[in-house]
Amino acid sequence: MRVLVVEDEMALADAVARGLRRQGMSVDVAYDGDEGYGKATSHGYDVLVLDRDLPGVSGDDICRTVTAAGPLPRVILLTASTSDRDKVTGYSIGAADYITKPFVFADLVTRVRALGPSGQDLS
């Protein structure tokens, strides 16, 4: 499974990527919205793990763009935006799942696997 992690907190992005790689996933990382947008729209990812509040292109704009283009990649918003309104907005722009920070890594792994090619939608 190919995963793109787009997160501007470099230590968090690297930790998530390392952990997903240990689970046997192929993972790329982008540290801002511009790089994330470029990778998300030009590579064949199965799942994006995407922060909403990014420098450059916003995570919301990346989510809208990639989900409008087709069934893959599936998007998990991993964000500090925790209100019910934030969650509703996240789903309305095309996110398949929404995880708030802080989070449990095992939960993230389970959700990434569920949204991958052999998984199923959790939303």
d(CA 14, CA 64) in angstroms, rounded, equals 24
pTM attached to this predicted model: 0.93
| Band of pLDDT at residue 119, cut at 50, 70 and 90 | low
Model confidence over 57-79: pLDDT tens digits?
A: 999 999 999 999 988 899 999 99
Burial of 114 (0-12, 13-18, 19+ CB in 10 A): middle
pLDDT of residue 70: 87
92 torsion bin: left (phi>0), alpha (psi -120 to 50), beta (else):
alpha
Other beta carbons within 10 Å of 85: 9
- Model confidence over 97-116: pLDDT tens digits? 999 999 999 999 999 999 99
Domain layout of the chain by residue ranges: 2-106
Q: How confident is the model at residue 118 (pLDDT cuts 50, 70, 90)?
A: confident
Can you give the pLDDT at residue 4? 98
In the predicted model, is pLDDT for residue 34 greater than 70? yes
Q: Which CATH superfamily is domain 2-106 in?
A: Response regulator (3.40.50.2300)
Report residue 36 as tokens: 């994330």
Expressed in angstroms, the distance from the first to the final Cα of the chain is 20
CA distances from 91 to 27, 49, 53, 117 (A): 24, 14, 16, 20
Q: Is 28 helix (H, G, I), strand (E, B) or coil?
A: strand
C-alpha 26/C-alpha 6 separation (Å) is 14
